[in-house]
Amino acid sequence: MKTLETTKMEDYRRLAHQIVSGCLNIRQDENVWVHSWDNTTEIASEIAFACREKGAQPFITLITEDYWTRSLLEVPKRLLEILPAHQAAALEKTDAFIFVLGPKNPVDWDKIPPERRELSSLWFIESNKYMDSWRNIAQEHSIRMLGVEYCMATKERAQTLGLDHERWEQVMLAGCLVNQQEIARTASKVANAVKKGRDVSVETPFGTKLKFKLSGREPISGDSLVHKEDGAKGTVKFLPSGFVEVAADETSAEGTVVYNAAIPARGGEKTKDLTLHFKRGEVVKYEAKSGISEFENYLKSCQGDTAKFAFFGLGLNPGLKHGFTQDDKVLGGVTIGIGGNEDKGGENRTSGNRHWWASMTKATVKIDEKTLVKNGALLL
């Protein structure tokens, strides 16, 4: 009879195999850097050992939650902006960089001064001097980078968000283990349809009725297959994945969006049926059945184009479920975002490129009058 611990280690091994073979295609004699939090050492160990089995040369670095938090709050900003020489030297010799997402506890961003939040470098996509130096090396050496979001499904985060921890872990693992080749093929087809399109309409039986325009920008295809070409572009990929997003015409949104998929929020209170009313791309009115404070905190704490239409996305991952922090990737789900979209090639600017997004189910999406999604089912 299998124990819970045995089952957990088997899950870790399946996940490690997917990361090393399915996503990064680690090869013999490659140098692999595995970056772990203090609560994810078992997963990091499995990933490193899977690299060994491929004949690669891994090494593991570790950061503790306490050290990260105190550094962000207390260390002089100029030091946090420097990429140390020994880190730079290690990065230059790295073929693939795998980092697990953390920390174990949800970050209380309200306790971190706004001018320091951008220095966090949790996702390795932030805009700061440290990451600029990191990206320059990563692009120069075509380093393949993958972030593992499965590790964010901790008991502590689940308690804060009011989620069932075991169910959350199961959903995240299922999303990680789906066929990444299939997701990449679907993403390519969807991205092609989005890129060629101009006029978009989104409707749901829950009250969403929105029209907007695309502007020929390059869609972002979110799969977890990491190639050397991605490294050369500075692209960081994540697991689980499965979406296509695009920065739309920021001034074009007209109508109403009802996010019928409940949004987990700090304190366990979910934001339910958040409704945004758009006029010429601006949110002119909003309401929710419950949990509105999380959205209002975003509006109050962020500066710039915070309430401006930003992007549109479609989910492609059949292993994920709504309500478990990955709603933008759930197969058939539709995402609408406001706020910063600089990372997607858009014109909106906010502090730290912050934005708000959420998703809806059972949507029907038409691009230039051609139905791409019908009642939540992708038509390809």
Q: Residue 251 pLDDT more than 70?
A: yes
- Do 147 and 244 lie in a common domain? no
Q: Phi and psi at residue 185, in whole multiples of 5°? A: -65, -45
**How large is the average pLDDT for residues 323-331?**
96
- Residue 361 maps to a domain: yes
**What is the mean pLDDT of the segment spanning 203-221?**
97
Q: Is the pLDDT of residue 367 over 70?
A: yes
Beta strand spans in the chain (E)? 31-37, 57-63, 96-100, 144-148, 199-203, 209-213, 220-222, 236-239, 243-247, 254-259, 274-279, 282-287, 309-315, 334-339, 355-360, 364-367, 370-374, 377-378
In terms of Cβ atoms closer than 10 Å to its own Cβ (0-12, 13-18, 19+), residue 7 is: exposed
DSSP state of 23: I
pLDDT tens digit sequence for 2-23: 676 788 999 999 999 999 999 9
Question: Is 337 found in the same domain as 210?
Answer: yes
pTM of the full structure: 0.93
Do 102 and 32 fall into the same domain?
A: yes
Mean pLDDT for all residues in the chain: 95
Indicate if 65 and 199 belong to the same structural domain: no
Would 319 be classed as within a structural domain? yes
For residue 33, pLDDT over 80 is answered with yes
Residue 369 maps to a domain: yes
Report, in angstroms and rounded to the nearest whole number, the Rg of the chain calculated over CA atoms: 20
Same domain, yes or no: 196 and 130:
no
Is 175 contained in some domain? no
Q: What integer is the mean pLDDT of 99-115?
A: 92
Contact 278, 255 (CB under 8 A): yes
Do 274 and 371 lie in a common domain? Answer: yes
User: CA 20, CA 91: separation in Å to the nearest integer?
Assistant: 18
What 3-state class would DSSP assign to 277? strand
State whether 186 and 147 are in the same domain: no
Q: What share of the chain is helix, strand, coil (3-state, %, to 5)?
A: 40, 25, 35
- CATH number for the domain that contains residue 53: 3.40.1830.10
Residue closest to 43 by CA, chosen among 124, 144, 147, 122: 147
Residues 148, 191 within the same domain: no
Q: What is the pLDDT of residues 118-175, one digit of tens each?
A: 899 999 988 899 999 999 999 999 999 999 999 999 999 999 999 999 999 999 999 9
- Number of independent structural domains in the chain: 2
The token duo for 272 is: 């339910």
Angle at 39 between CA 55 and CA 238, to 5 degrees: 60
Query: Rounded CA gap, 314 and 183, in Å?
Result: 12
Tell me phi and psi for residue 200, to 5 degrees: -125, 140
* 322 and 198 housed in the same domain: yes
